[in-house]
Chain A
């Protein structure tokens, strides 16, 4: 029997405030304390809370036959804690039903997987810890920022002990294979891969309210009809999307919440599909093939690669300037510096610097708080410069303290020796 695997992504970056050159070295508040809480509260009201309620009701009504999975970034969780704790409570209630699997990702929704192995590992374990603290669940399956994936990333994820990983069912890696199966990663140790069915996922996430789409309007009926037409031997249909699809990207008046309500009912009543968690899917279905992905893919833009974040020289220079600091940060134990180090790594900052236009550019603009990628770049570099100033200061202080401590120890030792000597005499 084939299955449907729902995974919803939840991430919110700490957006930077307008940070001027003259602030460097003087002001260490980087985040927009007006916009960030306002956005969180707005999305909670429009999306998280109503969608959670619908899902909770569905789970209760179907006695555990309806299941979903979420990945919630650390920086989103931090903002929920700070600005709208009721969101956390709502998610905790959902997770407590036992029908929700939580996935692991990088704490700050960062690009660390393509920057530094050590940093990547640190951030993942930090996120796993955070999820465990809040929800009491230990993630077994990993999903990387924006589904960024290649063989090297898979290798690292396998080494971290995960059972499986999610990524995009990009044409470039599948050729004529179907995304509706479990695959094996091309890694020394076993790691299974679930691939997003981007056609069926994007029908909901991107096209649902597009009136120029020839399938508009989309009903649960129609969608189930499509599912039923899929070959029976297919194993698992992976519907991966941003959770903000419900009520934020697709507005409530488009009927998206009705769709969310009706689809699971229709699937359970008039199709042969059941619902599975990612880890269930990995256990239930035999891998059909090995997937080799030497070149990095992601779920973003038409290109489905890294070009949304590292596609121009501004992005590359900012990225390198950031990760050049990683060794210094590791030597620095200051909690505030470590916190900012996380938040400054959010992939969003690099996304804002994208100079792509045409169709992708429109999507970029939708998410971008800056009027131009150049201003995004300047602002980010100003903040990063201040961060570097603080980092160096912190390390100097630390070095001074160590020196001081050594000096004291030496003095004590010398005193002790001279005391011993005088006793002997």
Chain B
């Protein structure tokens, strides 16, 4: 399995989802080799503990854990596990053109070690291709039956690994370029996404919403695209009931402040709500490229004393924020799935979500509005604030919706996809 990030070093939902899928698959007795571009010390030691025999012995009273430990291997693509000699200057002239064949690069630099940051920096495209080069080598070193890749960053790696090994490729789509950028898509990214899905033997979409985009915008054969909704990790502690420092009810937007998340609709709706209910506080939690624009808009609408920005929140602060919230709003313009509303529900917070989200397919007990319909959004916020019976109902029933959404269930469906793929691609292998 190829990913780009893994907890605790995550910047978005992708790492969390990969973690959920991996743990779910381990429970389903699927062996996983998880590859990411760069490991930090903390996963490494955890991984070491997981594969170490001595640790396994310590954990004998937890048989499930032991089974996981035996099956999970992390591989850091740049780690010495990959048979590359290290040069002092690991400068790779990866060419600008996207179409370059990774195997050719391999031939040109047979002894090259590839340093990667695993971040989302300026040389992302270059890293994506370095990753592919290394993936091809990993694919010929390890034994496995199927290649599962998560989002475009890993697609070239998946294709390379598949070509090197001849094993079937499954592309998992957590978000598309259309979600991230709207109509101003990055063509290079789109091309990688499209090629990845075309080359893949099967495509998994996190929602019907995303499946439609895959079929309509990327023109992928509908027959090879299936939907597997995300789960939500169950081990998380219960809702944090932090004492609020403020009296007023709190309406929260949490997530990256980017085009995709529709922050401006939250801001505009806040003004409309404050016009009729002045003693409410709005919070925009998170950071992102639109934050300064949002701050300016809030100031223009003259509501800065009721509308707060927290900046980026760490894990415990996120829980605290849910604990303080009375209404949670996710006005995403395009959200393939959207795990945040599920976390809000788990923390007993009624949610309003945009219809343009995958999560709206699985949540019955949530108010759904079109992201652009600021009036409807304002009405919904006001209703949840004013009518305790309504918010109470959502609070009580929301949990039923998320009961069925767990990673093991997602993983068992993923496993079915694997088995189907293995049967169809190599009929002689039966498992």
Q: Is there a chain B Cβ closer than 8 Å to A374's Cβ?
A: yes
A377 & B295 in contact (Cβ 8 Å cutoff): yes
Q: Are B299 and A389 in contact (CB under 8 A)?
A: no
In the complex, whether A88 has a CB less than 8 A from a CB of chain B is no
The answer for the CA separation of A324 and B302 in the assembled complex, in Å, is: 12
Query: Do A22 and B320 touch (CB < 8 A)?
Result: yes
Closest Cβ of chain B to A356, distance in Å, is: 14
A313 with B300: CB separation less than 8 A:
yes
**CB of A399 to closest CB in B, whole Å:** 15
Residues of A within 8 A of B281 (CB): 385
Q: Which residues of A23-38 are within 8 A (CB) of B?
A: 23-26
| Chain B interface residues toward A at CB < 8 A | 244-247, 281, 283, 285, 291-292, 295-296, 298-300, 302-305, 308-311, 317, 320
B-contacting 9-mer, from A93-101, A174-182, A285-293, A314-322: A314-322
Contact of A385 among B296, B308, B310 (CB under 8 A): B308
**Least CB separation from A24: chain B residue:** B245
A382 sits at the interface (CB 8 A): yes
The answer to whether A118 has its CB under 8 Å from any CB of chain B is no
Task: Knowing A314-B295, A314-B296, A377-B295, say if A25 contacts B304 (CB, 8 Å).
Answer: no
| Chain B residues positioned under 8 Å from A313 (CB to CB) | 296, 299-300
Which of B245, B291, B320 is within 8 Å of A25, CB to CB? B245
Interface hits, A361-377 → B, CB 8 Å = 372, 374-375, 377
B296 contact set on A, CB distance < 8 A:
312-314
Among the listed A23, A372, A377, A389, which residue makes an inter-chain contact with B304, where contact means beta carbons less than 8 Å apart?
A: A377
Chain B neighbourhood of A381, CB < 8 A: 304-305, 308
Given contacts A20-B310, A23-B245, A25-B246, contact A385 B305 (CB under 8 A): yes
Asked whether, in the complex, the Cβ of A374 is within 8 Å of the Cβ of B245, the reply is: no
> Bound complex: CA of A26 vs CA of B320, how far in Å?
14
Residues on B with beta carbons closer than 8 Å to the beta carbon of A316? 299
A residues apposed to B, CB below 8 Å: 20-26, 312-314, 316-318, 320-321, 324, 372, 374-375, 377-378, 381-382, 384-386, 388-389, 392
Q: How many residue pairs at the A-B interface have CB separations less than 8 Å?
A: 70
Contacts of A385 in B (CB 8 A): 246, 281, 305, 308
Task: Please tell me if the beta carbons of B299 and A21 are within 8 angstroms of each other in the complex.
Answer: no
Docked CA distance A334–B304 (Å)? 25
Inter-chain contact A25/B244, CB cutoff 8 Å: yes
> Min CB distance, A303 to chain B, in Å?
20
**Alpha-carbon distance A25/B308, docked complex (angstroms):** 13
9 CB contacts below 8 A, A to B, read A21-B283, A22-B320, A26-B245, A313-B300, A374-B292, A377-B299, A378-B309, A384-B305, A389-B246
Q: Find out whether the CB atom of B304 lies under 8 angstroms from the CB atom of A21.
A: no
Would A24 and B246 be within 8 Å (CB), given that A313-B299, A317-B299, A378-B295 are in contact? yes
Expressed in whole angstroms, the minimum distance between the Cβ of A93 and any Cβ of chain B is 45
In the assembled complex, the Cα of A388 lies from the Cα of B306 at a distance in Å of 11
Residues of B within 8 A of A318 (CB): 299, 304
Q: A22-B317, A374-B295 are in contact. Are A317 and B246 (CB under 8 A)?
A: no
From A375, which residue of chain B is reached at the shortest CB distance? B311
- A21 and B295 contacting across the interface, CB-CB below 8 Å: no
Q: Chain A nearest CB: distance from B36 CB in Å?
A: 31
> Does B247 lie within 8 Å of A389, measured CB to CB?
yes
> Which residue on A lies nearest to B310, using beta carbons?
A21
A314 touches B299 (CB 8 A): yes
Which of chain B's residues has its CB closest to A378's CB? B309
- Choose among B291, B303, B305 the residue with the greatest number of A CB atoms under 10 Å from its CB: B305
Contacts of A21 in B (CB 8 A): 283, 285, 308-310
